[in-house]
C-alpha cells in the first residue's frame, strides 16, 4: 500500500469516526437522494458535477467492492451494497474559509459525496455537518448531489 493510499484510508477512518460521533449526538449522519437510473449514470453525474464546479476529485473509494471482497474474511455473509463509491475532493476556497473560522474543521476534509446501489435502488448522498461554517460545505455537497440527479 502506498503512502497516499494509507493517508486516504486514515482520512476515511477519521471521517467515519466523526460521522459516528454525530450519530451519537442524535443528529442525522447523512443526507441521501434517490436516483432514478443506473449506478453508473449516478456516478458519472457526481463526477461531472464535481468537475463542473472547478474541483478536482482526489480519490474514488470503491467501498462497495472492498466490503464485498472482504466479507468472508471478517466472518460476515451479509451483503451491504451491490455497489458503493465515495468521491473525495476539496475546495480551496471553502476549506480556507471554514478552517479560518475553526482550524479543527480540518477533520472534515476532504469532502465527500457517495453513490450507492442497495436492493436495486440507487442513491446519492453526503455527510450532514454540524451547525456553523460547515453548513456552507454541506450546501455545496447538496448542490453537487442535486446537479448529478438532474443531469
**Can you list the domains of the chain with their CATH numbers?**
3-150 (3.30.310.70)
The predicted structure's pLDDT at residue 3:
61
Q: Whole-model pTM? A: 0.81
The predicted structure's pLDDT at residue 27:
78
- Per-residue confidence band for 17, with pLDDT thresholds at 50, 70 and 90: very low
How many angstroms separate the CA atoms of 31 and 19, rounded?
Answer: 12
Residue 9 has pLDDT above 50, yes or no: no
Strand-strand pairing, 111-118 and 83-89: antiparallel
The predicted structure's pLDDT at residue 151:
76
Q: In b/e form, how buried is each residue of 41-61, taking b as 16+ CB within 10 angstroms?
A: ebbebbbebbeeeebeeebbb
Amino acid at each position: 500500500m502506498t503512502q497516499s493510499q494509507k493517508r486516504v484510508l486514515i482520512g476515511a477512518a477519521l471521517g467515519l469516526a466523526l460521522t459516528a460521533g454525530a450519530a451519537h449526538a442524535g443528529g442525522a449522519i447523512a443526507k441521501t437522494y434517490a436516483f432514478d437510473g443506473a449506478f453508473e449514470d449516478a456516478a458519472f453525474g457526481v463526477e461531472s458535477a464535481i468537475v463542473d464546479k472547478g474541483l478536482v476529485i482526489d480519490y474514488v473509494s470503491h467501498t462497495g467492492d472492498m466490503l464485498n471482497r472482504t466479507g468472508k474474511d471478517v466472518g460476515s455473509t451479509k451483503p451491504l451494497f451491490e455497489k458503493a463509491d465515495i468521491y473525495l475532493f476539496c475546495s480551496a476556497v471553502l476549506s480556507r474559509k471554514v478552517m479560518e473560522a475553526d482550524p479543527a474543521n480540518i477533520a472534515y476534509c476532504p469532502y465527500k459525496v457517495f453513490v450507492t446501489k442497495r436492493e436495486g435502488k440507487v442513491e446519492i448522498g453526503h455527510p450532514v455537518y454540524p451547525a456553523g461554517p460547515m453548513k456552507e460545505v454541506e450546501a455545496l455537497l447538496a448542490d453537487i448531489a442535486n446537479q448529478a440527479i438532474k443531469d
